[in-house]
């Protein structure tokens, strides 16, 4: 088989799976800096997941009760559509967000799917720092397991000070 035929077959196979291979790289907006993310934040809360109900098209509607409102509308509950949480899934909190890997570009626990959409998963009963309004990043839905969590402390301070992106 010549090189042209091999390339044509490969391209035909890739085009047959178009939507599954649509996201070659995460959108840059999902990888923004922590400064930019906080500067754009309009709806942020520390909240606990109280229920997970199957939604449309394999999604799960997670309902949260707000424990602390950091920015945005005063509401006691909100819902986030996400992916299914599976028993045994390990939710990394980056050593209470002290791990340098979390703070680098692209850090965070929730990556996009092959269609470039972020579908976070949550554990019922657990607490999260939730950026509930777009733009969503890999850091928009971080699990908080400690009162002295570094990401939580940083976001609280940045929002209070009204920091703007550089």
Give me the pLDDT at residue 14, please.
44
Nearest to 103, CA basis, from 160, 28, 37: 37
Dist CA 38 CA 151 (whole Å): 11
pLDDT averaged over consecutive 10-residue blocks of the chain (166 residues)?
49 44 68 86 96 90 97 95 78 81 81 80 95 91 94 94 63
Give me the pLDDT at residue 27, please.
65
Give me the pLDDT at residue 16, please.
43
Give me the pLDDT at residue 7, please.
45
Domain boundaries, the chain: 25-161
Dist CA 7 CA 22 (whole Å): 19
Give me the pLDDT at residue 15, please.
44
Ranges of H-type helices in the chain: 3-16, 34-40, 94-97, 100-103, 150-161
Helix (H, G, I), strand (E, B) or coil at 95: helix
Dist CA 109 CA 120 (whole Å): 9
- CATH class of the region 25-161: mainly beta
Contact indicator for 155, 37 with CB cutoff of 8 Å: no
Contact indicator for 131, 141 with CB cutoff of 8 Å: yes
Interacting residues of 162 by C-beta distance below 8 A, sequence separation 6+: none
What pTM did the predictor assign? 0.78
Give me the pLDDT at residue 30, please.
74
């Amino acid at each position: 088989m010549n090189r042209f035929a091999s390339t044509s077959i490969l391209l035909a196979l890739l085009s047959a799976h178009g939507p599954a291979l649509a996201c070659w790289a995460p959108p840059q907006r999902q990888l923004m800096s922590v400064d930019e993310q906080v500067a754009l934040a309009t709806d942020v809360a520390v909240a606990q997941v109280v229920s997970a109900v199957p939604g449309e098209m394999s999604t799960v509607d997670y309902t949260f009760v707000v424990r602390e409102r950091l920015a945005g509308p005063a509401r006691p509950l909100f819902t986030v559509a996400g992916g299914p949480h599976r028993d045994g899934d390990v939710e990394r909190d980056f050593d209470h967000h002290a791990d340098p890997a979390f703070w680098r570009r692209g850090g965070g626990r929730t990556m996009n799917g092959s269609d470039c959409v972020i579908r976070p998963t949550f554990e019922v009963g657990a607490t999260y720092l939730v950026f509930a309004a777009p733009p969503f990043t890999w850091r928009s839905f971080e699990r908080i397991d400690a009162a002295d969590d570094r990401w939580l402390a940083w976001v609280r301070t940045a929002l209070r000070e009204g920091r703007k992106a550089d």
